[in-house]
With several copies, the nearest count.
Chain A
Amino acid sequence: MKDQDLYNYILGVADNSLILGQRLGELCGHGPNLETDIALTNIALDLFGQTRSYYQYAAKIAGDGRTEDDIAMLRNERDYKNVLLVEQPNTHFGHVIARQFLFDVYHLQLMNALQHSKDEMLVAIARKGVKEVSYHKRFSGDWLKRLGDGTDESKQNIQEAIDHFWPYTDELFDMTDSDKKIADQGIGVDMTTLKDDYYKQISEVLEEATLTIPDNPYSKRGGKQGIHTEHMGYILTELQYMQRTYPNMTW
């Protein structure tokens, strides 16, 4: 493939949306009320929409007949490059919100910066994405505050969730070799430059939510190298089930 690095870069971005969308899809009909069900489904829909745009573009770059669905559903686990954060389970609503918020802040930074890419297609996706992800971040941030400054129980639950996911945030700013090359070309985003701002933004909202900013210095990573947590395998058994069971069919 000529543009292997660009392909890798796009998949790195897209896989996050795919896997987080998949996690949110599990929740559909099982949320605490209809309003949150609808909102989380909306977020999932946005994420799948972005995923499709990225994979369609990646498929074009690959140029070997692969389709968006082949890319989404026919890779081996080690070839998915999403960060570990997005594959973590929906343990309870606090986890859903914490995971979402910690991702949304990063995601909006990425979308904002990607609008200035030299790649027109990525700019187009990012422009649409900025609007969508701004809404995601508002939703998750608002709920973070509600849960943080709600009842004692909710504060405890959301604090536990934030503490739980904190070690997964550092990986968001890891750059693979392809990421670096594509950033150097002015196409991708150098996320390392946005890291301080990320923690600043997060901290502000956590404070507003009357929550404690974790000081755990240890981090968990591996997703960007395709080394996932044990949750990922189960996500894939479902995600890939139909394509694996009935190969080469039109749906």
Chain B
Amino acid sequence: MSEKEVKNLEAIFEARIARDEKIEPKDWMPEKYRQTHIRQISQHAHSEIVGMLPEGNWITRAPSLRRKAALLAKVQDEAGHGLYLYSATETLGISREELFDQLHSGKAKYSSIFNYPSVTWADIGAIGWLVDGAAIINQVALCTTSFGPYARAMVRICKEESFHQRQGYEIMLTLCNGTPEQKAMAQDALNRWWWPSLMMFGPRDADSPHTEQSMKWKLKRKTNDELRQQFVDQTVPQADILGITVPDPDLKFNPETGHYDFGEIDWDEFWQVVKGHGPCNKERMEARVGAWERGSWVREAAMAYAEKQAKKKVAKAS
């Protein structure tokens, strides 16, 4: 293709996006669009499946059968989300094997929040309330993103995530209406998960160079700082209802802006975790890689069996 032809295709492509048309896998797309989407959607998929681990940690110890079943169902939904998102990524011409290789080798990232440990039952509540809450804010915008399979996956995922978020909040509410010990457990979880949740929106806008391009492709609708502010504004009143305190002495409603002002994130911690040195980065990767390696004989068996069956069918047919 000549440079001119490519330019032409690019112009058509950009125009389609500007008109809010969906880009579908079979459509022409710029290589950078493809690569950026592979990176972002697979990162999202990886986050779903790594995110199963801190919650999975409490399945055997959930305090009631009802909560145990709900937690199992939630973790299962996350596996399901992982599945749609990997499928959406595969439509861009990359195999699931390759995607897992990228995760396991550390080339691909996943949401840093899952590198924190879930140490009490209240963390299951806090993860639902705060982490899913933050995720939804990021994801709602993506329901109208330009790449069709991603947008459609997001619609379905957002619906389930908001169910999870309510469920998490309800766990917190039950704790806060419970014994003083339970309420202290809820407060403690908020103390530990608050700042990592704020970090989920990424670096400050000034340190986030890719924002402009992503905005154009509708992979981002608002900047990191805008989304973070939205999360704070939404979450602080929820904490008030619970009767527990956000662990930020600088947090204060600003009547002029109509927003909550809040304190400075510990960016050293942010970068330490992003670079792979958070509390559980190593454990999470070992869990994923371990599961994958232990499962290789199973996947090989399934393939061998499928091939044998296919041959039998062919033999019968001929």
List residues of A whose CB falls within 8 A of some B CB. Answer: 22, 25-26, 28-38, 41-42, 44-45, 48-49, 51-52, 55, 68-69, 72, 76-78, 92-93, 145-147, 149-151, 153-154, 157, 164, 167, 216, 218, 220, 222, 227-230, 232-233, 235, 237-239, 241-243, 246, 249-251
Contact = CB atoms under 8 A, between A and B. Distances in A.
B266 interface: no
15 contacts: A28-B52, A34-B79, A45-B76, A150-B301, A151-B297, A153-B297, A157-B297, A167-B277, A218-B277, A222-B279, A242-B63, A243-B63, A250-B177, A250-B178, A251-B175
Given A150-B304, A246-B182, A29 B60 contact: no
Contacts of B79: 29, 34, 37-38, 41
Interface stretch (B23-31, B66-74, B153-161, B249-257): B66-74
A215 to B, nearest CB: 13
Best-surrounded residue of A34, A237, A239 (most CB of chain B within 10 A): A34
A52 B65 contact: yes
A38 B282 CA distance: 24
Interface residues of B, number: 65
Given A22-B60, A41-B72, A251 B119 contact: no
Contact of B68 (A30, A34, A48, A147): A48
A78 B120 contact: yes
Given A34-B83, A34-B86, A41-B79, A232 B62 contact: no
A151 B303 CA distance: 9
Interface string B264-307: 00000000100101011011000100111011111111111100
Contact of B65 (A35, A68, A77, A78): A68
A52 B305 contact: no
A29 B65 contact: no
